[in-house]
Amino acid sequence: MTTTATPHGRSAVLPEPAPHEIRLECVLHALADPVRLRIVADLAAAEGELNCLAIDVPVTKSTSTHHFRVLREAGVIRQVRRGTSKMNSLRREELGALFPGLLDSVIAGAARQRGDAGDAGEHEDAGERHLEEA
């Protein structure tokens, strides 16, 4: 795991695996939890950094901290400490190079399950109607 800091301790990347250390089974485990999947989906929608408090999850602060740590240690997110805040972002580029399409597929699947998929939900409804008509 690597950690970096800028001069005077203003900003520091919390420990995370280097790209060659990211394991598929760890990424899949991290993404298998509904709360962590929600965090990842919110970060993907933001397309940038979000403070931990900006992501609304239905758990206590200590449990939320645990979920962020699991995602970071699996290599799914990067956490940077800035003052008293932890800023979070997806490690999209690294994950995309290692596991092409995985992150987008998982996020799209989660959206379909939650019902916010828009077009994807319409396609599923059309398929179900077709099966009922047959």
Higher pLDDT, 116 or 129: 116
Domain presence at residue 126? no
Q: Is 55 domain-assigned? A: yes
* Residue 14 pLDDT: 93
CATH value at residue 74: 1.10.10.10
For residue 71, CA distances in Å to 28, 86, 102, 117 come to 10, 14, 15, 23
- Looking at the structure of the chain, the number of domains it has is 1
- In a domain, residue 118? The reply is no
Cα 100–chain centre separation: 15
119: in domain: no
pTM for the full model?
0.78
- Domain extent, residue 29, equals 2-113
The tens digit of pLDDT for each residue in 112-125 reads: 988 864 444 444 44
